[in-house]
Amino acid sequence: MTKKFNNVYVADTYTIASIYEKNGPISNYFDLIYNKDFYYGTDTFEKAEEKMLSNSISKLINKVKLVDSDIDYVIAGDLENQIAASNYAMRDFNIPFLGIFSACATFAEGIYIGANFIEGKGCKRVIVSTSSHNMVAERQFRNPTEYGALKKKTTTLTSTGAASILLTSTKSNIKITSATAGIVQDKGISDVNNMGAVMAIAAADTIKRHLNDLHINADYYDLILTGDLGVYGKEILIEYLKESGIDISLNYDDCGLILYDRKKQPVYAGASGPCSSALVLCSYILNEMKQGKYKKVLVVPTGAIFSATRLFQKSSIPSIAHAIALEAI
Amino acid sequence: MDTYFYAFLFCGFICMIGQLILDNTKLTPGHVTSLFVVIGAALDLAGIYDKIVLYAGAGALVPITSFGHLLIHGAMTAVSDNGVMGLSLGIFDLTSAGISIAVVCAFFLALFFKPRH
């Protein structure tokens, strides 16, 4: 289902990044980089993620010179069990909170919900946040570092950081024009080391429906971005869409390949995690849109929404993708 | 001098099998480790592993297959002393040193160090 918006704008963003992101190609665009270690001044990785998320929200509120009571909702989610980083971080705020989960597509889901609230005139300002932490994700979904397992080429590297975006009904130079909610897809793949292949089908479906619903072609957008398909998922998506007669090979890129430089960094197939799309969108892409490089951008973060328990029970991996269309005005 | 050569061949052969499994199947390093222990135990049951040790020396004693071989050795020795009950009594006889040291080392390492990237 694609919703059109007439009065939803991006007021500002705040991004916090870590070591790998600092060594990547777009490090100049982040608001804050903490590259001492992965602990962010705390004693566990999980607490570090919580603190990064909390800081991204509080620093965003400070940046736009508002206070907690000016914000109607915070919508946030992350990869931890029970979206722990978000739930714990929100203890620091006196703002109504809605926790969401779409794995790596969480940020887009948040923007979809927030934009609908604002469009329906139910509120004026919504902050959407997300975070991910490499070591937390390793412990949660793959193997802890201590295990010392080698990684496969198709694996992606979970990004570390937090990003928050303030959506508002007050006019600004970036407008959210429409959004498409994803439909859960499952092609029966159960390989956790090849998420790009799992999620490409969800991205293809959402992009197809988005273009159909709005009666536009893929070249309507200056740039179509997926969240973290990685280099292999990117090829698969282009192939999938070609079969449906949609050619995105000229104006398509993947945030996971923008955030890191695969040639110089040991990042396997590219970046992943909710922060991959959120960091790239909130820093580099919005900046380039303001500079006039891109006018219309479609962001389609994809999420592998699987449960580790179900994976052990030999279930395959479902995936979802939400699309958000932005326009510089 | 021959032992060095056979040690290299045998241990390298085991590593090659491990690499082939990791590259061509969905099995994880945990699966491979368990599989090698079972293979070592089976080879020892058939009386083959001791002969390999004779030729390859440390090449056969260092890899994890040797763990399976020692499990069976311990169990079989206890069986000859205590009958069937010896199976469960003796199974960790020869490997308990390795296991205890691993547990103690892990405890102290966890006490003093934090995980890094």
Global ipTM:
0.71
Query: What is the structure's pLDDT at A177?
Result: 97
- Give the pLDDT mean for B87-102: 91
Percent of chain B whose pLDDT exceeds 90:
72
Delineate the domains of chain A, giving CATH numbers in brackets: 2-168 (3.40.47.40), 174-328 (3.40.47.40)
Residue A277: predicted pLDDT: 95
| Nearest CA among A145, A213, A151, A148 for reference residue A178 | A213
CA distance B112 to chain A (A): 13
User: Percent of chain A, pLDDT > 70?
Assistant: 99
Strands (E) across chain A are located at 2-4, 9-17, 32-33, 73-77, 97-99, 125-132, 157-158, 161-168, 174-180, 223-226, 252-254, 271-272, 296-300, 302-304, 319-321, 323-328
pLDDT of B28 reads 83
User: A150, B22: Cβ pair inside 8 Å?
Assistant: yes
Best of B23, B27, B117 to disrupt the A interface by mutation (most A CBs within 10 Å)?
B117
Asked if residue A146 has pLDDT above 80, the reply is no
pLDDT band at A154 (very low <50, low <70, confident <90, very high): confident
The one-character DSSP state at A81 is G
Confidence label for A99 from pLDDT (cuts 50, 70 and 90): very high
- Secondary structure class of A129 (helix, strand, coil): strand
Q: How many CB pairs under 8 A join A and B?
A: 24
- In three-state secondary structure terms, B69 is helix
| Statement: residue A69 has pLDDT above 80 | yes
Which residue(s) pair with A165 in the sheet?
A13, A128
Minimal Cβ distance to A191: which of B26, B29, B117: B26
Residue of A nearest to B109 (CA): A146
Query: Is A148 a residue whose pLDDT tops 80?
Result: no
pLDDT at residue A246 greater than cutoff 90: yes
In residues, how long is chain A? 329
Q: Which residues of A touch B22 (CB under 8 A)?
A: 150
Mean pLDDT of B102-111: 93
A118 touches B at CB < 8 Å = no
pLDDT band at A218 (very low <50, low <70, confident <90, very high): very high
Distances (CA, A) of A186 to A195, A266, A303, A304: 12, 30, 12, 10
pLDDT at A196: 87
CB contact at 8 A, A75 and A114: yes
What angle do the packed helices B2-24 and B29-45 form, to 10 degrees? 130
d(CA A59, CA A65): 10
Q: Which among B29, B114, B116 is the nearest to A149, CB-wise? A: B29
Residue A183 CA to residue A105 CA, distance in Å, equals 12
Q: Residue A187 is encoded by which pair of tokens? A: 């092609």
- pLDDT by residue (tens digit) across B29-81? 889 999 999 999 999 999 999 999 999 999 999 999 999 999 999 999 999 98
* Residue B25 near residue A193, CB atoms below 8 Å: no
3-state secondary structure (DSSP) of residue A109: helix
Instruction: Tell me the pTM.
Output: 0.89
3-class DSSP assignment, residue A160: coil
Contact B117 A146 (CB under 8 A): no
- Pull the structure tokens for residue A271: 């970046």
d(CA A131, CA A60): 14
Q: What does the alpha-carbon distance between residue A192 and residue B12 come to, in Å, rounded to a whole number?
A: 29
- Three-state DSSP class for residue B43: helix
Give me B71's structure tokens.
Answer: 């499990």
Q: What is the CA radius of gyration of chain B?
A: 17
* Alpha-carbon distance values, B83 to A248, A265, A303, B47, B92 (Å): 73, 59, 57, 20, 16
Mutate to test the interface with B, among A23, A38, A160 (most CBs of B within 10 A): A38
pLDDT at A144 over 80: no
